[in-house]
Amino acid sequence: MAVRDYIRERFMPHIWCAGCGHGIVMNNLIRAIEVLGLKKNDIVMVSGIGCSARISGYLDFHTLHTLHGRALAFATGVKLGRPDLHIIVPMGDGDATAIGGNHFIHAARRNIDITAVIMNNHIYGMTGGQYSPLSVYGRMATTAPFGNIDQAFDIVGLAQSAGASFVARTTSYHATSMIKIFQKAITHKGFSVVEVLSQCPTYYGRKNRLGDAVEMMEFFKKNTTPLGSAAKEKNPDLIERGIFVQEDRPEYCAEYKKIIKKAMGEQ
Amino acid sequence: MNKKTLFLQGNEVCVEAALYAGLDFFAGYPITPSTEIVEHLASRLPQKGGCFIQMEDEIASMCAIIGASLTGMKAMTATSGPGFSLMQEAIGYAVMAEIPCVIVNVQRGGPSTGMPTSVSQGDVMQARWGTHGDHAIITLTASNHQDVFAMTVEAFNLAETYRTPVILLLDEVVGHMREKLLMPEPAEIPLIERLHTSVKEGTDYHPYLPREDGRLPMSDFGGVHRYNVTGLVHDMWGFPTNNPKIAHGLMRHIVDKIENRVSEITRVKEYFLDDAEGILLSYGSSARSALHVVKNRRKSGERLGLLELQTLWPFPAELVRERCAHAKYVLVVELNMGQILQEVKKAVDDPSKVFLANKVDGTFITPTDIRNVIRLILGKGV
Ligand code: SF4
């Protein structure tokens, strides 16, 4: 199938600004799904609120556009209702780690078979450029006019310590590896987290004089390095990308099936 | 037929009734005085192959039941006081996206943490207006275990009929009290299942295009129709829009589908109303004391009656006006500062004849408390 076969053309044009990283992520998600050969009826996309969350509406799957931060809680209900379906949750940084932080760590802890794609552009885009829990220290935002004094979460570390059994990081620049990571995350049995460093040229870029979308993507290219590379040893400031965790651990729905067996046996 | 007689707590009755109604999915978080519902379902639901999950909080619980309902499951959560406050955002989502689900709130003293183990009926208005924005909602209540059973089943039936969240407002006394339940036989109480679309695969399905009767046939997630569900104002495909005409139509639809069917949704119990000079109007546990007073005073020839509401929202204003038309006085008995009192005053022809017997100190209102107010109304002094 072509990319357009996955898109609801009736709902185009999309709302994203020119140069936004979310379109790249959506495109690569589609490609990953296409390569995997998944049926559209077998995919549920659940999202919260934010620019990134709009991905769900544009795609021709079962789509559930929910409340700010709550996508994973809704997704948990969908997954338990239909454990055979693939559940993909595109999220923004505020959505996943501020208002939705609690749901995020608990979904990870349960290791429920859901794929969370966190588009980290370090800012709240939809509301116009406020700082998020992933904004870099010292950066500017409309609510940090003198510079951000919050420390940012490390998504990979957070997901890992909360119990996610698949954790990866990539960037909007690295399309080929992003597609491969998405494929692995979607087929992984358990809670999978993919952090995608993405650009919001409109707010984060402009507020912090980071240049246009191309320059922001160049930044991802220059300042990231594959996991375990020698470059990281020389320059510890480089951000690593790749798969950090990929483990076989008890998955929640599978565990729940055992509970049903026990409960029925005990009757 | 020899029916099974059980001796149960109200919260357990609610569990049995939910299972009878076909509950498939429960998500919840422990909170007094509703915890027994969570605990009992943790063992009862997996026994019938259903799904129970204890979520990280009440917000997540409410969201999870909406997600499960979209896959075709009958879904419910249960909570009290602060937990009900936390659920309000997602209750609004269920209203807007028209997702059938049942929310049980075993009321306790409030506001805030209030009195966790004490009785109250202080959430009547929160059930009506707790979530933001104009909307309609269905709220049921019950005063005894047989009715807790019936109203729990009714809550599921109404949720599935009208594609809406239904709130079941119990209170601490009803939830924790133990009394007899005659277990209804299977199929004795009719169960209503949601409408599924007959639109075939490959044909355009409009998830949000109401039929002429206002109902919207659903299609389960994972089925042949892929569509969008959102809490934003949406068109007939479920896609967000700012079109004023569509927005207006949607608002009218979500309100009218309930407010235009008050008589179909209304459940009341009437005791000695035909010749009543004084009418007690009550609901939930306080209706027990009210009924006691009425039966007792009838013995001494006092023409008292009781109108017990089981549907609180939409408020049955027409019925209340009509039943109270010939009464010399109407005494609303409730465990709050007069939340239903105001509705009764709005409904009747002469609001000056409507009085309140209430308690807000965490204790139960007794027949003597009610008697004393009646004496005051009749100018007899206490
Ligand atoms: S505001 Fe930022 S995140 Fe939102 S669409 Fe525009 S560029 Fe993308």
Which residue ranges make up each domain of chain A?
3-263
Tokens of B366: 């007794």
What number is the average pLDDT over the span A5-17?
Answer: 92
A152 vs B170: CA distance, rounded Å? 44
A51 lines ligand 1 (CB under 6 A): yes
Question: Do B231 and A66 lie within an 8 Å CB cutoff?
Answer: yes
User: What pLDDT is attached to residue A74?
Assistant: 98
Nearest-CA residue for atom 6 of ligand 1: A17
Question: Do A70 and B226 lie within an 8 Å CB cutoff?
Answer: no
What number is the average pLDDT over the span A80-100?
Answer: 97
Contact status of A33 with chain B (Cβ, < 8 Å): no
Atom of ligand 1 at shortest distance to CA of A22?
8
Give me the DSSP letters along B267-335. -EEEES-TT-SEEEEE-TTHHHHHHHHHHHHHHTT--EEEEEESEEES--HHHHHHHHTT-SEEEEEES
Question: Closest by alpha carbon to B6, among B175, B170, B205, B179?
Answer: B179
CA distance A107 to chain B (A): 9
Question: Do A264 and B46 lie within an 8 Å CB cutoff?
Answer: yes
**Is pLDDT at A114 greater than 80 in this prediction?**
yes
Mean pLDDT, chain B, integer: 97
Tokens of B30: 């422990």
What number is the average pLDDT over the span B320-325?
Answer: 98
**Is pLDDT at B256 greater than 60 in this prediction?**
yes
Nearest-CA residue for atom 8 of ligand 1: A20
Percent of chain A exceeding pLDDT 70 equals: 99
Band the pLDDT of B324: cuts 50, 70, 90. Answer: very high
ipTM: 0.97
CATH assignment, B270-379 = 3.40.50.920
Question: Do A74 and B67 lie within an 8 Å CB cutoff?
Answer: yes
Percent of chain B exceeding pLDDT 90 equals: 97
User: What pLDDT is attached to residue B1?
Assistant: 55
A92 lines ligand 1 (CB under 6 A): no
Express each pLDDT in B110-162 by its tens digit: 999 999 999 999 999 999 999 999 999 999 999 999 999 999 999 999 999 99
Distances in Å between the Cα of A163 and the Cα atoms of A63, A140, A159, A253 are: 26, 32, 6, 15
Express each pLDDT in B59-78 by its tens digit: 999 999 999 999 999 999 99
Which of the residue ranges B35-44, B203-212, B357-366 would you say has the lowest mean pLDDT? B203-212
Q: How many CB atoms lie within 10 A of CB B368?
A: 11
A120 lines ligand 1 (CB under 6 A): no
pTM score of the predicted model: 0.98
User: What pLDDT is attached to residue B3?
Assistant: 84
**Is pLDDT at B366 greater than 90 in this prediction?**
yes
Which of the residue ranges A105-114, B121-130, B208-217 would you say has the lowest mean pLDDT? B208-217
Express each pLDDT in A195-220 by its tens digit: 999 999 999 999 999 999 999 999 99
Task: Give the 3-state secondary structure percentages of chain B, helix then strand then coil, rounded to 5.
Answer: 40, 20, 40
Length of chain A: 267
What residue ranges of chain B are covered by domains with CATH 3.40.50.970? 4-183
Tokens of B186: 């299977």
Least CA distance to A108: which residue of chain B? B56
Question: Do A57 and B228 lie within an 8 Å CB cutoff?
Answer: yes
What residue ranges of chain B are covered by domains with CATH 3.40.50.920? 270-379
CA distance B136 to chain A (A): 20
Question: Do B228 and A60 lie within an 8 Å CB cutoff?
Answer: no
Atom of ligand 1 at shortest distance to CA of A199?
7
Enumerate long-range contacts of A38-43, CB under 8 Å, 24 or more apart.
A38/A86, A38/A186, A40/A6, A40/B226, A41/B222, A41/B223, A41/B224, A41/B226, A42/A84, A42/A85, A42/A86, A42/B222, A43/A85, A43/A86, A43/A87, A43/A88
Q: Which residues are CB-contacts of B78 (< 8 A; sequence separation ≥ 6)?
A: B14, B26, B28, B34, B37, B38, B103, B104, B105, B106
Q: How far is the CA of A18 from the centre of ligand 1 (A)?
A: 8
**Is pLDDT at A267 greater than 70 in this prediction?**
no
**Could you tell me the sign of the dihedral formed by the alpha carbons of B255, B260, B264, B267, in that order?**
positive
User: What pLDDT is attached to residue A68?
Assistant: 98
A199 vs A41: CA distance, rounded Å? 31
User: What pLDDT is attached to residue A3?
Assistant: 86
**Could you tell me the sign of the dihedral formed by the alpha carbons of B145, B150, B153, B155, in that order?**
negative
Q: In chain A, which ranges are E strands? A: 43-47, 62-65, 86-92, 115-120, 123-124, 130-131, 166-171, 192-197, 224-226, 239-246
**Is pLDDT at A161 greater than 70 in this prediction?**
yes
Q: Which residues does chain A have within 8 Å of residue B231's beta carbon, measured at their own beta carbons?
A: 65-67
User: What pLDDT is attached to residue A10?
Assistant: 86
B369 vs A83: CA distance, rounded Å? 54
B33 vs B39: CA distance, rounded Å? 12
Q: How far is the CA of A179 from the centre of ligand 1 (A)?
A: 22
Tokens of A54: 């709009």
What number is the average pLDDT over the span B230-244?
Answer: 96
Grouping H, G, I as helix, E, B as strand and the rest as coil, residue A227 is: coil
Pick the CATH number of B4-183 from 3.40.50.970, 3.20.20.150, 3.30.830.10, 1.10.3720.10: 3.40.50.970
Pick the CATH number of A3-263 from 3.40.50.300, 3.40.50.970, 3.40.50.10190, 3.30.365.10: 3.40.50.970
CA distance A5 to chain B (A): 13
User: What pLDDT is attached to residue A251?
Assistant: 98
B11 vs B1: CA distance, rounded Å? 26
A212 lines ligand 1 (CB under 6 A): no
The amino acid that residue A121 corresponds to is N
Give me the DSSP letters along A128-169. TSEE-TTSPTT--BTTBTT---SPPP-HHHHHHHHT-SEEEE
Express each pLDDT in B163-194 by its tens digit: 999 999 999 999 999 999 999 999 999 999 99
